Amino acid sequence: MKSFLLITGAAGGLGSAFTAAAARKGFDLVLTDVSSAGQELAERTSAFSGVEVRYFPCDLRREEQRTAFFEQLKQSGLAFWGLINVAGLDFEGAYPQISREQALRVLNVNLVANMDMTHEVLQLRDPSQKFRLINVCSMAGFYPMPFKATYAASKRFLLDFSLALREEIRDFGTVTALCPGGMPTTEACMRAIFAQGFWGWATTVDTYKTAESTLKKALKGRAVYIPGWANKFLWAISALVPTSLKINFVASRWRKAQAEVAQNTPLRSEQHSPTTA
């Protein structure tokens, strides 16, 4: 029986990188994204790699669309040996200054959609193969982050959820929590990286290399993967630093970076940065 690897947020920067990396390994794929570019990505990937690639559009924020998506998978008789939950978003800024709708969108995509997708795909897993789940968390999940409070908290939840679920499914699968730093996936992400100077560059990781290395780590059963030497260093020393100092450092760094950005290219009121730590 043919089984597939499902990738959410497939048309985005990290999602398309995972798609390319998985196709190069010869994995048959099911892709989903809210963007219309997903169909073109699926066709191009299949043509170049020779693997079977199916695309189902879905706005993961909306429960009714997720339900319809799951029904399509069931009606198509698809079975899965793996899932990569990439879809996620963030609206930077002080919590009182973002809108209610923005805050709820972060939770709906980063948490509710991820958990819903994971639950339903596990029901459709191929029992003849080891199941592999990759959740895209973030370095932001290791400590509270002022001005990215909702995003960081959602990633902390996702990290804890991944580690707990890993133990629950150990008899038939593994869960890998990917915790990257910044990624140059959008214009807003790149401006933020530039504004942070040395540490912005040091903690930024290459999107395609990250996707390839994460797949390798997941297939070997790694629980948590932090790409990049600077990110590993910051994670190691963070355990030695009081939480209050970490919060103050993050807040100071964010204020300085935003001041730098404002002097050059004013940011739009909404920043969608799905893979920024």
Domains and CATH numbers, the chain: 4-264 (3.40.50.720)
Confidence label for 275 from pLDDT (cuts 50, 70 and 90): very low
Backbone angles phi, psi at 30, to 5 degrees: -120, 125
Backbone angles phi, psi at 4, to 5 degrees: -125, 160
The angle at the Cα of 140, spanning 136 to 146, to the nearest 5 degrees, equals 145
* pTM for this predicted structure: 0.85
Which tens digit of pLDDT belongs to each residue from 162-221?
999 999 999 999 999 999 986 655 555 544 544 455 445 455 678 999 999 999 999 999
Which tens digit of pLDDT belongs to each residue from 102-151?
999 999 999 999 999 999 999 999 999 999 999 999 998 998 989 999 99
From CA 197, how far away is CA 188, in angstroms rounded?
A: 15
Residues in contact with 36: Cβ distance below 8 Å, sequence separation at least 6, in sequence order: 57
